[in-house]
Amino acid sequence: MSSRILTRRAGFFPQGAKTFAYRRVVELAGLTLLAAAAALALALLSFDANDPSFHLASSQKTANWLGWPGAYAADILLRSVGVAGVWPVLALAAWGWRISAHRGLPYWWMHVALLPLAVLLAAILAASLPAPDSWPLADGLGGIIGQSLLAGALAPLAMAMGLGAGRVTLALVAALPALAMLGFALGLTPGDWRTLGRALVFVGAKGRALL
């Protein structure tokens, strides 16, 4: 009797409804990550050092495009790790694209675990580079954390290896592990990179045609 009832209930659902619903949920999860990446990117792009934050109490109108949440988020990232704050944007965008395109992210836990390390290495790399005059913060391109790790870890290591502690040397020492760790954290396959490259070439060609 119970088996007949279950059979009748199952008949209410069209064939493949479960698969259809699952795919839509996966796509929604991927789009949510892409939206988070876009929001964080907008917050960073519209950063204003004079906006209210944990470092500055101000009554002026927030200039950040995302209001006070964007101002606080951008301030925390840029002051702590500098331009390496872009790394989470890239990671969220890469993960969101793979998930929404049903390419999967089977080792998501590994990518999530590697992202903080990739950000720290990128902050060290950024700290080894001279900040342009237009950079709005006094902590340099690597932020407070990048500067601290550069002076307390990478520079002594390079000196111990007999490489010296010049900016160019430190940048070269930091570049390879920073970029390699970012590659692992993004979770993109060689095929993904080829697809991305073709997309960039296509967009570049269209852009030149419009100019």
Contact 111, 87 (CB under 8 A): no
Of the two residues 76 and 12, the one the predictor is more confident about is 76
Which tens digits make up the pLDDT trace of 85-144?
999 999 999 999 999 988 888 888 999 999 999 999 899 888 888 889 889 898 889 999
In the prediction, which pLDDT does 6 show? 45
pLDDT value at position 13?
56
| Confidence check: pLDDT of 173 > 80 | no
What's the pLDDT tens digit per position in 34-55? 999 999 999 999 999 888 888 7
pLDDT of residue 162 exceeding 70, the answer is no
What are the backbone dihedrals phi and psi of residue 145, each rounded to the nearest 5 degrees, phi first? -70, -45
Helices 108-127 and 86-100 meet at what angle, rounded to 10? 150
